[in-house]
Amino acid sequence: MTVENARALRWRPCASIVLAAASAAVLCGGCSVLDGPVLSPSGPISLAQRDLLFKAVAIMMIVIVPVFVMAAIFARRYRGTNRKARYTPNFDFYWPLEVVVWGVPAAIIVWLSLHLWHYTYQLDPYKEIDPGVKPLQVQAIAQDWKWLFVYPEQNIAVVNELAMPVNTPVSIAITSDTAMNSLVIPALGGQIYAMAGMQTRLNLLADKTGTFWGRNVQYSGRGFADQQFQTLAQPKADFDAWVEKVKQSAKALDAAAYEALAKPSQKVPVTYFSGVEPGLFDKIIAKYSHGDSDRMPRHSNTGAMD
Amino acid sequence: MDIFGRLTIESLPFYSAIAASGAAVTVLGGLSVVAVITYFGAWRLVLFQWLSSVDHKKIGIMYIMLALVMLVRGFVDAAMMRSQQAIALNSDGYLPPGHFDQIFSSHGTIMIFFMAMPFLSGLINLIMPQQIGSRDVAFPFMNAVSLWLSMAGAALVLISLVIGKFSTAGWTAYPPYSGLEFTPGVGVDYWIWAVLISGFGSTMSGINFLVTIIKCRAPGMTMFRLPLFTWTVFITSVLIIFAFPALTVACAMLALDRTLGMHFFTNGMGGNMMNYINLFWLWGHPEVYILILPAFGVFSEVVAVFSQKRLFGYISLVLATMAIGLLSFTVWLHHFFTMGSSARVNSFFGTMTTIIAVPTGVKVFDWLLTMYRGRIIFKPPMLFTIGFLVTFVIGGLSGVLLALPPIDYLMHNTTFLIAHFHNMIIPGVLFGYLAGYMFWFPKAFGFKLNEKWGTRAFWCWIVGFYVAFMPLYVLGLLGMPRRMEHYEIAAWQPHLIVAAFGAFIILLGMICLGVQLWVSVRDRIEALDLTGDPWNGRSLEWATSSPAAPYNFAVLPKVECRDAWWDMKQRGVAYRRPEKYEDIVMPKNTFAGAVIGAAGFAFGFAMIWWIWWLALLSLAVIGAAIIVRASNDDDEFVMPASEVKAIEDARFPQLAKAPKNAMEDEPGFAGQPAPEAAA
Amino acid sequence: MSSAAAMTVSPREAKRYEEKDFGFWLYLMSDAVIFACLFATYLVMAGNAAGGPTPKDVFSLERAAAETALLLLSSTTFGIAAVSLWAGDRSKVLLWLAITLLLGAGFIALEFGEFSGMIAEGAGPDRSGFLSAFFTLVGTHGLHVSVGLVWILVMIGQVFAKGLTAPVASRLMRLGLFWHFLDIIWVVIFSVVYLPGLL
């Protein structure tokens, strides 16, 4: 019978192609990814998230690298044609190896889960960033296919633009007046789902000025791709000026204006509203919850239960 | 027109050239199958040898044929998405949102439910009974029903290209978007009924496999002598039995919402969308392991056979499999860390998820240690295994990252997640199944697959995988969400172009697979497997002839240790002729399975289009078929000993034609007693 | 498998019945998970009346008690049928199966009345999340009982036509498992749905 000899020798050219392809892919990503929002964060939350990312990758190299090395060495050294290599066909158990094989991954996971608990509590999106500072309150409402941000203290509302003073905690209460959405601003942190009849919360802080994009990342229909906004992290004075600018708007967000806005629409330009129907956010939630008491995600206004 | 429910002439896809051509390809594909069968005059063969068959090997082959067809369909979807995203910077590309959304939904649905699941069931059917020294699965007829229900589900997905539209809600169909309020058409209903109907089939398969492994093992085949593939099937079956009901319930409730206006998952009226997401992932996470554990089993078999060495750490591997199975039910919440659960809840599920990395890591090291001090022969299945080992740990790394809730907050719903699970599913699941396909093909058809083209397919697949998915990791770090029909961030485009190129390399891999099959069938005479043991195998499936006789084993083998077949060869008792043959009781072929499948298809179609009379009629047909079948006490026949002897006698001259071990010409061959040919 | 004197069973057949029984147990486990999911859903949604009727408004203890009595009684009568099967008494098996069938049908009739009454009062499954969960949970059980009734009918036919052969006895055993399983599910429904809803 014919046997195609897929010999070990073929390994080298082919393996180098793989390596080249992989490194080309990584490299061409490498330069731009460093400037990307995740790896060059603009707030303490996303910075801490990045730190955890780096730590976890580093610790896991303890198992990943040996796998690469062993796979390469064993495949080469113990190729069938290499009659010089030792061959032990019945070698199938050696308890010190078993201890290492179970023990090392287990130790890494213990280390990792300690960090996991620490960071998960520290970076709980519900947690107030600085208990000593009163955060800026924002209410985010997901609509088809845009974001409406209400500033209750300033009595203004904005479509598809989120402004915030730099170095000031922002507490965003989130709900949806449509399908499930998810709010993220990659440079600052996130994300949390927006669900009708329920309120979720996201606490953020920008420690650099700049314009950062944010968007819905939970697929919600044909306008999904354009459901994005810009976040303006500004010095306090600029933010106040921005608030004044919004207050100059001739439009007010009364019940009728809200109804019109809530209809599905795509690529909606930034729109300012100088006044907001009182209790609008709660009314949108109540529309779906019918006074039932079981709205599950934590809806307290102040941070985590724990 | 009430008689056709909501089905009208407008449901045909003449509204867009792309949709119409997709429909045309589907219809032509169906017609060409009919034409080929007619051309070869094979209707009698197809009907009476295959459609009505209850033989686990034929059922397995039919499952794998379905899986390969659906792999092509799912790949076409993937290629369309990649090409759309490569060009859709500040433009709509060539696919409008409504169409793009159907494509990502059908891609996921097809690859999980109608490629991976049938491939899995096919390999299990083909091999597991032979590995444990059994003549068939415990319930051959139910096995046929499972197959035909899977076919019915797949047919519903395919027909959605021709009549109506498919879902736009993704393969997970999250409500409330998948509810009537936001997606009123038939798309989500196609998804629901395809998944529900094939899900029933999968549940029955799970029960069937578990009973087979527990009750039908050959004498001496204790649990801790089971080949590792069978062990993984055992755990997978347990997972199927306990996880699929959650999917059934979630889909059924979504169907009730959509069909009867109930309020399980609607926005208002007391609906609770979070309940769907919990139920879905209560199935969905174990499903990942349902798919991958048998692939791990394949790798375990392949790595031992081609390292010509005993599997290292058998007990560890079994325990790790059990641990993964158990843990898989405790991690579902990691699919929605971002739903607003407390830090305590998220930490718990995050920790449980990272713990799964331990048994998985153990497996990787045990496979590597199997290669250690072996004599490795690089046949295509082994190439897939090594490719898997190296690539899979990258996916494991990204998986652990995603298991850390603070990182998941950033990476959830981005292409990083997409890259992660494709990194599990392609090198893990698909490479495993392809390795199994090339490893066990001779057992199914009696000749080997062409190794040159298999090797080419491997290199295209693995290079293509890296080129297609590493950019998606990068894109995730750049914040790109999944399911984007177009985008405005220019920095994303170069990566998407690279990814599209990777998809093209994978296309070459698909073509290589096709050429491999073609060339192998053409040159089959030169690659005949005369011994039934083409790779110098270790477990009992290599003891049967290739292809195996209908009864697999004329005399049930007596198992004395692990690697039972290897042991028999060592002791020189392999291929030994029994003193006498006995009558063998076999299940009779029946069309009831295919009838139930056809009625299941009609039922699903009727429920999708609200054709109530047809739904009732097809339910009645199913009920009648079950009752008639269940009242039939005459479902077996006896194959007389003389016939068994005739079949077996034909095998021994064949063995004599292959006087030496099939692997002996291999330069890396490490030695093994040749089969004693018939005297 | 069965000790009825009339049945002689080869070891191979005995093994086949054992496999079937075991497979049926696994099916019941799987089905139990379906009910577990439905119970969990009901518990999550029991408070979601959406301004519509609450459990107190729609449940009737008398009716639930009557349904419970019928179903528990039917389990007992099925037990007697099984004992008669053991004794090899074909006519008694037929009689007690028929009585079981009637009791089960009575249960379904009561449940049908309950459901149609609720729907007529505007408390149908499309009224609120609570009612969707209620109708689906109890309805799924009812659907199982209905299938069980068809099965009993088929088995009456088989006992009548074939007598107490080994395959028939084996099927009756599994029908028994199914029937008692539904009984247990009903007891849970009664204690999780009706009792807390009324107390």
Q: Average model confidence (pLDDT) for chain B? A: 95
- Region C108-119 average pLDDT: 97
Contact C33 B246 (CB under 8 A): yes
**Per-residue pLDDT reduced to its tens digit, B6-43:** 998 888 888 888 889 989 999 999 999 999 999 999 99
Contact C51 A290 (CB under 8 A): yes
- Whether the CB-CB separation of C104 and C145 falls below 8 Å is answered with yes
Residues in chain C closer than 8 A to B252 (CB atoms): 136
Q: Does domain B42-590+635-678 have CATH number 1.10.1760.20?
A: no
Angle at B458 between CA B456 and CA B459, to 5 degrees: 65
Query: Binning pLDDT at 50, 70 and 90, where does residue A1 land?
Result: very low
pLDDT digits 0-9 by tens, A88-145: 999 999 999 999 999 999 999 999 999 999 999 999 999 999 999 999 999 999 999 9
CB nearest to C165's CB, from B253, B260, B633: B633
Locate all alpha helices (DSSP H) within chain A, ordered by sequence.
11-33, 44-77, 95-122, 236-247, 255-262, 280-289
Calculate how close chain C gets to A193, using CA atoms only, in Å. Answer: 20
- Between residues 124 and 163 of chain A, which touch chain B (CB distance below 8 Å)? 124-127
Do strands A228-234 and A161-165 pair parallel, antiparallel, or not at all (unpaired)? parallel
Supply the pLDDT for residue B679: 36
Q: What is the pLDDT of residue A298?
A: 47
Give the contacts of B30 (CB within 8 A, at least 6 positions apart): none
Question: How close does chain B come to A45, measured CA to CA in Å?
Answer: 9
Residue of chain C minimizing CA distance to A290: C50
Verify whether the Cβ–Cβ distance B241 to C29 is below 8 Å: yes
Q: Is B248 on the interface with C (CB under 8 A)?
A: yes
- Write the pLDDT tens digit of every residue in B600-641: 999 999 999 999 999 999 999 999 999 999 999 889 999 999
Q: What is residue C30's predicted lDDT score, i.e. its pLDDT? A: 97
Q: Do A292 and C49 touch (CB under 8 A)?
A: yes
Q: Chain A residue with minimal CA distance to C54? A: A292
**pLDDT above 70 covers what percent of chain B?**
99
To the nearest whole angstrom, how far is the Cα of A180 from the nearest Cα of chain C? 18
**Residues of chain C with C-beta less than 8 angstroms from the C-beta of B216:** 19
To the nearest whole Å, the CA of B620 is away from the closest chain A CA by 38
Q: What is the pLDDT of residue A40?
A: 83
Banded pLDDT at A293 (limits 50, 70, 90): low
A212 φ/ψ sector (left φ>0, alpha ψ -120 to 50, else beta): beta
Q: Is B319 on the interface with A (CB under 8 A)?
A: no
- pLDDT band at A33, cuts 50/70/90? low
For residue A294, which residues of chain C lie inside 8 Å, CB to CB?
44-45, 47-48
Q: Least CB-CB distance to B376: which of A78, A106, A219? A: A78
Q: Do B623 and C150 touch (CB under 8 A)?
A: yes
Sequence-ordered alpha helix ranges (H) in B216-272: 228-260
Six-digit token pair at B524?
């089959």
Nearest CA in chain A to C129: A292
Q: Which residue of C has its CA nearest to B215?
A: C19
Count of CB atoms situated within 10 Å of the CB of A47: 15
CB A221 within 8 A of CB B177: yes
Alpha-carbon gap: B342 to the closest alpha carbon of chain A (Å): 6
A84 touching chain C per CB within 8 A: no
Tally B–C CB contacts below 8 A: 116
Interface of A with B in 61-120 (CB under 8 A): 63-64, 67-68, 70-71, 74-75, 78-81, 85-93, 97-98, 101-102, 104-106, 109, 112-113, 115-117, 119-120
Interacting residues of A62 by C-beta distance below 8 A, sequence separation 6+: A104, A108
* DSSP conformation class of B89: B
Taking CB atoms and an 8 Å cutoff, what residues of chain B touch A22? Answer: 466, 470
pLDDT of residue A84 exceeding 90, the answer is yes
pLDDT tens figures, B83-114: 999 999 999 999 999 999 999 999 999 999 99
Helix axis angle for B56-87 and B493-522, nearest 10°, is 150
**CB contact, 8 Å: A293 with chain C?**
yes
Q: B659-668: string of b/e by CB count within 10 Å (b at 16+)?
A: eebbbeebeb
- Interface chains of chain A (3 or more CB pairs under 8 Å): B, C
Provide residues of C within 8 Å CB-CB of chain A.
44-45, 47-51, 129
Is A294 in contact with C51 (Cβ distance < 8 A)? no
Q: Which helix (H) or strand (E) holds A216?
A: strand A210-216
pLDDT digit string, tens, across residues B466-505: 999 999 999 999 999 999 999 999 999 999 999 999 999 9
Does the pLDDT value for residue B667 go beyond 80? yes
Residues of A in contact with B487 (CB under 8 A): 225
Q: Angle of helix B451-477 relative to helix B380-403, nearest 10 degrees? A: 10
| Binary contact (C33, B260; C-beta < 8 A) | no
- Give yes or no for A291 touching C (CB within 8 A): yes
Spatial separation of the C-alpha atoms in residues B470 and B479, rounded to whole Å? 14
Do the Cβ atoms of C50 and A290 come within 8 Å?
Answer: yes
- The residues, ordered by sequence, that sit 6+ positions from A291 with a Cβ below 8 Å of its Cβ are C51
In this prediction the ipTM stands at: 0.95
Structurally, what CATH architecture does the domain formed by A136-295 represent? Sandwich (2.60)
pLDDT exceeds 60 at position A8 = no
Structure tokens belonging to residue B569: 């060869």
CA distance to partner chain B, nearest, from residue C157 (Å): 9
Q: And the tokens for C48? A: 């979601």
Least confident of A31-45, B162-176, B626-640, C173-187: A31-45
| Chain B CA closest to residue A305 | B342
Do the beta carbons of residue B86 and residue B78 sit within 8 Å?
no
Residue ranges of E strands in B528-602: 584-587
Query: How close, in Å, is residue B437 to chain A by CA atoms?
Result: 18
Beta-bridge mates of residue A271: A159
Residue B661 gets the label, from left (phi > 0), alpha (psi -120 to 50) or beta, of beta
DSSP string, B186-209: SHHHHHHHHHHHHHHHHHHHHHHH
pLDDT at A301 over 50: no
> Which 3 state secondary structure label does DSSP give A229?
strand
DSSP string, A177-212: SSS-EEEEETTTEEEEEE-TT--EEEEE---S-EEE
pLDDT, tens only, B488-497: 999 999 999 9
- The mean per-residue pLDDT over the stretch A278-283 comes to 95
B674 has a pLDDT exceeding 90: no
The structure's pTM equals 0.95
What pLDDT is recorded for position B9?
Answer: 87
Amino acid at A61: M
Residue C167 predicted with pLDDT over 90: yes
Given pLDDT bands bounded at 50, 70 and 90, which one contains residue A30? Answer: low
**DSSP-assigned letters across all residues of B585-651:** EEEPP-SHHHHHHHHHHHHHHHHHHT-HHHHHHHHHHHHHHHHHHHT-S--EEEE-HHHHHHHHHHH
CA distance B138 to B208: 6
With pLDDT > 90 as the criterion, what percentage of chain B qualifies?
A: 90
Q: Using an 8 Å CB-CB cutoff, list chain A residues near C48.
A: 290, 292, 294
Among B651, B446, B652, B436, smallest CA distance to B534 is for B446
pLDDT tier, B361 (very low <50, low <70, confident <90, very high otherwise) = very high
Domain ranges (residues) in chain A: 34-42+59-117, 136-295
Stretch among A238-247, B3-12, C50-59 having the lowest mean pLDDT:
B3-12
Closest partner residue to B400 among A60, A86, A220, by Cβ? A60
CA distance B141 to B143: 5
**pLDDT reading at C8 higher than 80:** no
Show residues of chain B in contact with A7, CB under 8 Å.
378, 667
Please choose, from the candidates B24, B6, B4, the residue with its C-alpha nearest in 3D space to the C-alpha of residue B14: B24
Residue in B476, B554, B550, B507 with CA at minimum distance from that of residue B218: B554
Mean pLDDT, rounded, of chain C:
94
Q: Does residue B312 sit at the A interface (CB-CB below 8 Å)?
A: yes
Residue C180 sits in a domain whose CATH number is 1.20.120.80
Residue A190: predicted pLDDT = 82
Chains A & B: contacts with CB separation below 8 Å: 373
Q: Which two tokens stand for residue B86?
A: 């490569």
Q: A255 to chain B, minimum CA–CA distance in Å? A: 19
Confidence of residue C166 (pLDDT cuts 50, 70, 90): very high
Could you state, in order of their start, the residue ranges of all structural domains in chain B? Answer: 42-590+635-678
In this structure, what are the phi and psi dihedrals at residue A299, rounded to the nearest 5 degrees?
A: -120, 20
Is 90 exceeded by the pLDDT of residue A27?
no
CA B248 – CA B105 distance, rounded (Å) = 19
- Whether chain B has a CB inside 8 Å of the CB on A193: the answer is yes
Rounded to an integer, the average pLDDT of B401-420 is 96
Rounded Cα distance between B244 and B255, Å, is: 16
List of chain A residues whose C-beta atoms are within 8 Å of the C-beta of residue B491: 32, 35-36
Residue B550 has pLDDT above 60, yes or no: yes
Are A80 and B340 inside 8 Å of each other by CB?
Answer: no
The pLDDT assigned to A290 comes to 79
**DSSP of B20-48:** HHHHHHHHHHHHHHHHHHHHTT-HHHIII
Confidence check: pLDDT of B308 > 90: yes
The pLDDT, as a whole number, for residue A21 is 63
